[in-house]
Structure 1
Amino acid sequence: MSDIIEYRSWVCLICGWIYNEEEGLPEEGIAPGTRFEDIPEDWRCPLCDVGKGDFAAVEF
């Protein structure tokens, strides 16, 4: 059994900005390791200002 934590990345479907769960967004008060679903619902994309509904999980 592995203890590796699987973090996901989420891409804004409008502008392409990527939120990485492992890195978080400390400059906006979102700690590293914060899951996308745990970000407040009123959070907006820092690049184009759309809501969380315009993001999709991606795998690299």
Structure 2
Amino acid sequence: MEIKIKIDKRNKQAKGFYEYLKTLPFIELEETRYNKKTEKAIKEAKSGKASKISLADFRKQIL
């Protein structure tokens, strides 16, 4: 069984709860550093799905 919980670690009680969860042997915590779109882009770049372009070419695309 898998349960997903979002914890706002800026709250003192929530941070304490998070620290407690980390001590439990049957709990696996998965933290994301960025939002979902950014995480997806990072995974694509690491897997080779992204391509390299020069800065000049990039500027032409966005302007």
TM tier relative to shorter chain: under 0.3
Structure that is richer in helix per residue: 2
Structure that is richer in strand per residue: 1
- Larger RCO (CA within 8 A; separation ≥ 6): 1
Output the TM-score relative to the length of structure 1: 0.28
Task: State which structure, 1 or 2, has the greater radius of gyration over its C-alpha atoms.
Answer: 2
Output the TM-score relative to the length of structure 2: 0.27
